Amino acid sequence: MLSHDRIWAAIDRLAERYGMSASGLARKSGLDATSFNRSKRTSPDGRDRWPSTESVAKVLRATGASLDEFLRLIEPGIEKKTMIPLIGMTQAGGGRLFTDDGMPTGGPGWEEVEFPDLSNEKVFALEVQGDSMEPLYRDGDILIVSPSANARKGDRVVVRTTSGEVTAKEIKRKTAKSVELRALNPGHPDRTIPASEIAWIARVMWARQ
């Protein structure tokens, strides 16, 4: 059931997952830093103030979270945790580290991180290396990505080509023949990759900064 308290609690949980305060999440979303302050959640006469759908949309766009994932945070209860593999961007491009469906196969010195269980969703953690995803994601940030999630226009994704190149961008356009990718960093070029040259596409589900 949607309620005023649960909606605001979900925003607080989302901010916490990304290592931010509610004010930090508001700033990252392009809103006034005080937009999510507790004092703004009720009016002076005691009436509930709800976050607008526009504000929620900006939060999802800034974090890369989906609406389904946000709705999960509205539900009360303790989330089940699981351990998922963690690799670096450079490591993701080298060797035969992945199955045909885009999941890491494991190897010597394999690292893992704890993450809420997403049921049947296949996910792994990818450490950002370099500046190609700035200013949204920075060197050292951890992205939780899913090669099994449906990736559509506007989604932030990590793409691995058949030659082993790994790039992280936003889907601009996707057809049966190719995928057009928009650079997250204005200093990096956009790309168009033929579908025949794509090994897998993993949608960015969450980020830990």
DSSP string, 164-191: S-EEEEEEEEE-SSEEEEE-SSTTS--E
Same domain for 154 and 85?
yes
Residue ending a domain, choose from 74, 101, 127: 74
Same domain for 144 and 50?
no
Same domain for 98 and 186?
yes
Same domain for 56 and 92?
no
Q: Are 156 and 168 in contact (CB under 8 A)?
A: yes
Output the pLDDT for position 117: 61
Same domain for 111 and 193?
yes
Query: Over the Cα atoms of the chain, what is R_g?
Result: 18
Whole-Å CA distances, 196 to 103, 128, 163: 19, 26, 11
Same domain for 162 and 121?
yes
- Among candidates 116, 117, 108, 113, which has minimal Cα distance to 86? 113
Same domain for 89 and 69?
no
Q: What is the domain range of residue 14?
A: 4-74
Chain-centroid distance, C-alpha 63: 6
Residue ending a domain, choose from 50, 74, 98: 74
Return per-residue pLDDT of the chain as tens, 209 residues: 557 888 898 899 888 887 788 999 999 999 999 999 998 899 888 888 888 878 888 898 888 887 777 877 876 554 566 777 787 776 666 655 677 677 777 665 568 777 666 555 688 888 888 887 788 788 888 888 888 888 888 888 989 888 888 888 999 999 999 999 999 888 899 999 999 999 889 888 777 66
Same domain for 95 and 164?
yes
Q: Are 101 and 200 in contact (CB under 8 A)?
A: yes
Burial of 114 (0-12, 13-18, 19+ CB in 10 A): exposed
User: For residue 166, what are the contacts with CB-CB under 8 A and spacing of at least 6?
Assistant: 89, 90, 92, 93, 158, 159, 160
Same domain for 110 and 132?
yes
CATH number at 88 reads 2.10.109.10
CATH number at 12 reads 1.10.260.40
Residue ending a domain, choose from 74, 97, 116: 74
Same domain for 70 and 88?
no
Output the pLDDT for position 138: 83
- Rounded Cα gap, residues 12 and 127, in angstroms: 24
Q: Are 167 and 148 in contact (CB under 8 A)?
A: no
Predicted model pTM: 0.59
Output the pLDDT for position 78: 46
Output the pLDDT for position 88: 77
Q: Are 167 and 156 in contact (CB under 8 A)?
A: no
Output the pLDDT for position 36: 93
Same domain for 42 and 135?
no
Same domain for 104 and 40?
no
Query: How many structural domains compose the chain?
Result: 2
Output the pLDDT for position 37: 92
